[in-house]
Amino acid sequence: MQQLGVFTDLVVRYKVEMLSNLLKSKLIPYRKLLVIVVVLQAIQSIAGLYLPTLNADIINKGIARGDTGYIWRMGLVMVLVTLVQVVMSVAAVFYGSRAAMGFGRDTRTALFHQVNDFSAREVARFGSPSLITRITNDVTQVQMLVLMTCTLLLAAPFTAIGGLILALKQDVALSWIIVISVPLVAAILGTVVVKMVPTFRLMQLRIDRINEVLREQLSGIRVVRAFVREPEEIERFRAGNSAVTATALRGGRLMSLMFPTATVIVNLSCVAVVWFGSTRISDGKMNLGAMVAFLTYLSQILMSVMMATFMAALWPRASVSAERIQEVLDTPSSVQISDEPIRITQSRASLEMRNVEFRYPGAAQPVLRNISFKVEAGETLAIIGSTGSGKTTLVNLIARLIDTTDGDVLLNEVNIRQTAPAELWTRIGLVPQKPYLFSGSIASNLRYGKEDATEEEMWKALAVSQAESFIRQMPGALDAIIAQGGSNVSGGQRQRLAIARALVRQPDVYIFDDSFSALDLVTDAKLRAALIPEVLDSVTVIVGQRISTIRHANQIMVLEDGQIVGLGTHEHLGANCSTYQEIVASQATQESDI
């Protein structure tokens, strides 16, 4: 039990440090606003503390003596003090809200840029659903902590300390009630808060999970309906939703203990003040005004503790969220930018790999090993192999979405590790295995490849990609609306639009990662024929599954278990590579049709 207690203490201390570091780093630009908030909260607390003293004077000097004029004068003063308190409180909330909202905006911006710099390895490590939760829900939790701190917590120490001093000034003999009640509230609430930390950590993980399930169901709604899997998917969502609900209820039950406990102690303390204060009044040791003031100050002190209790309820979830945010911010991208990047000045395109190896962290075997080839401008390298042979990984290495663990990749005779990623990517036109279109228009999607592309350039790219005919039939042509992900066009149309987007850029290297798989054989053949004059000054890399797509390439690379088992022309491999021969034989029927 002692070891468990030490471990819990270390965990809590670690989370406090993580939360503190995040707040320090992101609230620095708002330190002037925070200073203003502190001053405003101090003034409104002092004004609030002055009111019980005025009230006591009204009772002792006005009501007790029947001095109506004094009552009116002090009443007017109380109104003015209350007005000051209200104005200061409103101003503190205004400036505190600006600081909290700015903190949230800056933190989301930092996370967004950090995630944008991640390689495919880091994105896969965290997972898209978790990254979305961290940028949205986790930031909101810490932002709420900042807001409540500015609006509630900052006033608490002023009120508690000032209330304690003024309560003792009214009557020292009753101070034992404060000595008992305040530590009792703090001890009970502190115990509850410590138990809430693991609950809220689990809460964020389960929100990640329900995000993942919902994202899959929305993205794959057609598949769900086609295979009549609605009942199973409903059950998956129900399970995830129930898990979130159960965890939230567990945290809610713990939180529900806090306020009733504090309220009971406050009320019992007030009863004690009235009980023992009445005895002192009857003995002539205390006047009625002092007892009323002491009672008010005690209530203010304990209300300050209750406000701190509310913050204590927010702290566990915010600390877990801060840890998750900081984890993303502290994770460097595995694709590091050179301190002195080299510009690619050679105009003639070329692509080369020298003894390249790639291994995922902790993996027993590399995904790729001993990969070497060179392709010049106007040449085409085709890559073929079974599923899992490493084709897409090789493509990602060329585009530097991930970095090699050994060996070099050279573009135009320059090692891509020594170039700035932005410059490298401007020289590459990538059509991914799963083409993605963004919500907007046809034109806005094509201009992802080249921002200043003219209509003539876009129509030319559409003609080459065999997309011109169906685009002209769409309402608005280039201004036709594309839904998110391209869900309002077919798979083959998405592929052709993605190819057109790469063609608009006119890069040094074209990468087609299985980009013709959704095309029929006739469209495939027409597209490849139209590509030939467009890529004479560029290197073309094609990942394909069909022999008809790659047979005319200058070099065909056959991958098996991450190794090159054949490299050469169609005729050379057909005579010398058994793996290629098996692939050709399996597609013999299709080849004979062509």
Q: Where are the domains of the chain?
A: 2-329, 350-593
The pLDDT value given to residue 13? 52
Structurally, at CATH architecture level, domain 2-329 sits in: Up-down Bundle (1.20)
Question: pTM for this one?
Answer: 0.68
Contacts of 336 (CB under 8 A, 6+ apart): 403, 417
Residue 593 pLDDT grade (very low, low, confident, very high; cuts 50, 70, 90): very low
Q: Is the pLDDT of residue 360 over 60?
A: yes
| pLDDT at 573 exceeding the cut of 70 | yes
What is the distance between the alpha carbons of residues 251 and 261, in angstroms, rounded to a whole number? 16
Q: What percent of the chain has pLDDT over 70?
A: 94
Q: Cα separation of 313 and 258, whole Å? A: 8
Q: What is the pLDDT of residues 19-57, one digit of tens each?
A: 778 888 888 888 899 899 989 988 888 888 888 877 777
Q: For the segment 117-149, what is each residue's pLDDT rounded down to a tens digit? A: 787 777 877 877 778 888 888 888 888 888 888
Asked if residues 230 and 275 have their Cβ atoms less than 8 Å apart, the reply is: no
The reported pLDDT for the residue numbered 83 is: 92
Question: pLDDT tens digits, residue range 281-291?
Answer: 777 777 777 77
Distance CA 16, CA 197 (A): 11
* CA 76 – CA 85 distance, rounded (Å): 14
With cut-offs at 50, 70 and 90, classify the pLDDT of residue 589: low
Sheet containing strand 563-568, strands side by side: 428-431, 509-513, 539-543, 380-385, 555-560, 563-568
Q: What CA–CA distance (Å, rounded) separates 530 from 471?
A: 18
Q: Is the Cβ–Cβ distance between 525 and 352 less than 8 Å? A: no
Domain 350-593 - what CATH class?
alpha beta
